[in-house]
Amino acid sequence: MDHYLQLNGLTKTYGDFTALKEVDLAIGKGEFITFLGPSGSGKTTTLMIIAGFEKATAGDVLVEGKSLSGLAPHERNIGIVFQNYALFPHKTAVENVYFPLQMRGVSRSEGLKRAEEMLGLVGLSGFGQRYPKELSGGQQQRVALARALVFEPSLLLLDEPLGALDKNLREQMQIEIKRIQRTLGVTTIFVTHDQTEAMSMSDRIVVFEKGSIQQVATPLDIYHKPRTRFVASFIGESNIIEAAAVEPAARKATAEHIGEIEYGPSELDVEKGTPVTLMIRPEHIRLSRDPKEGRRNVRMKVETIVNYGDNALVIGRVGDLSMRVRVLGADVVIIKEGEDCHISWTPDSVYMIAK
């Protein structure tokens, strides 16, 4: 992968507070990258430094090997869409999209033509003469996206642009943004704290926590092979089990209340007796009234059942250990709150993570 955008040792401090700590990242041309993390983790600060709205205390941002340091935001050829779309209320949709071209000296006739074409790309053909107040939230978001793309930026930065939309429209816009990004091939960084958005849209996800990058990987690797306990807990739901390695060569550990646990392949090198942290996703656990033959069965007391319609989350206890099991909605009728059941899993469903 060619390194189109590089972040080299980005650090940002505010007095005694360190918002970013030596962030290094390489992004390929045309990639869709999502910065994911809780509030205050450093994802938006990183985006603002790339855009030129924040100045790094140390480090540099390079596009195609050239430093952006010293360039004002409007000199960086970067398209940006924020959560509040900041459309000009007195300008029509097509005039809003034409504005960045006007600032770049493009003639009105040529600029309006390109603006109309871009509105067509984002699914707003025929909406060019409407004012923002005459457009829905989703339509305003598309106008903002068209305005950010019309001048063919080298980078597209999206800072939680779907946060103000309702669930159904947000899911629709996730699909649309990805379609537009693929059509244009523009290198894109999308900032969100919504893991579902990150999983459904990204080529790779960058997980931030406390100003540092915890992991950079594809959505599937982030989900199934989290590198740290924070990533395992922040992305989806997980059962975290503290154990001790008993036969590392055979990938066996032992945990209180559960006993022996076999785990899947791991890149971590551990010695016998070493404390290890194991993760099992709730959907990888099987629940039954009776022990399953040929499986390692563990007795669990059911405390709470949360129904979601198409599936249910069964929360129970194995001794002092809280466990979560995800089952299909139709299967939850086999068990009731307060009852005992048996849970089981395959070794490949158990993943060892770093502390």
The pLDDT score that the predictor gives to residue 190 is 95
The pLDDT score that the predictor gives to residue 299 is 92
The pLDDT score that the predictor gives to residue 212 is 96
Q: Which band of pLDDT confidence, cut at 50, 70 and 90, is reported for residue 85?
A: low
Would you say 60 and 49 are in contact if contact means Cβ atoms under 8 Å apart? no
Closest CA to 31 of 221, 182, 208: 182
Q: At residue 215, does pLDDT exceed 70?
A: yes
Closest CA to 158 of 75, 82, 61, 96: 82
Q: At residue 245, does pLDDT exceed 80?
A: yes
Closest CA to 140 of 154, 163, 124: 124
Closest CA to 54 of 86, 110, 11, 83: 11
Q: Which band of pLDDT confidence, cut at 50, 70 and 90, is reported for residue 74?
A: confident
The pLDDT score that the predictor gives to residue 301 is 95
Give backbone dihedrals phi and psi of 308, rounded to 5 degrees, phi first.
Answer: -115, 5
Q: Sign of the CA dihedral 142, 148, 153, 157? A: negative
The pLDDT score that the predictor gives to residue 186 is 94
Instruction: Report how far Cα 258 is from the mean position of its chain's Cα atoms.
Output: 32
Task: Please calculate the CA angle 340-345-346 and round it to the nearest 5 degrees.
Answer: 160
Kindly report the average pLDDT of the chain as a whole number.
91
* pLDDT, mean of residues 253-264: 91
The pLDDT score that the predictor gives to residue 51 is 94
Q: Which band of pLDDT confidence, cut at 50, 70 and 90, is reported for residue 147?
A: very high
* pLDDT, mean of residues 166-194: 89
The pLDDT score that the predictor gives to residue 53 is 93
Kindly list the structural domains of the chain, giving each domain's residue range(s) and its CATH number in brackets, ordered by start. 5-231 (3.40.50.300), 237-353 (2.40.50.140)
Give backbone dihedrals phi and psi of 82, rounded to 5 degrees, phi first.
Answer: -100, 175
Would you say 98 and 116 are in contact if contact means Cβ atoms under 8 Å apart? no
Helix (H) or strand (E) holding 196: helix 195-201
Q: At residue 294, does pLDDT exceed 60?
A: no
Per-residue pLDDT of 295-337, as tens digits, reads 678 999 999 999 888 889 999 999 999 999 999 866 777 788 9
* Three-class SS state of 28: coil
Q: Which band of pLDDT confidence, cut at 50, 70 and 90, is reported for residue 247?
A: confident
> Look-up: residue for tokens 């919504």?
194
Question: Which residue did the predictor score with more confidence, 168 or 64?
Answer: 64
Per-residue pLDDT of 29-63, as tens digits, reads 999 999 999 999 999 999 999 999 999 999 999 99
Cα–Cα distances in Å, from 86 out to 81, 97, 322, 354? 9, 12, 46, 43
* pLDDT, mean of residues 13-26: 94
Q: Which band of pLDDT confidence, cut at 50, 70 and 90, is reported for residue 162?
A: confident
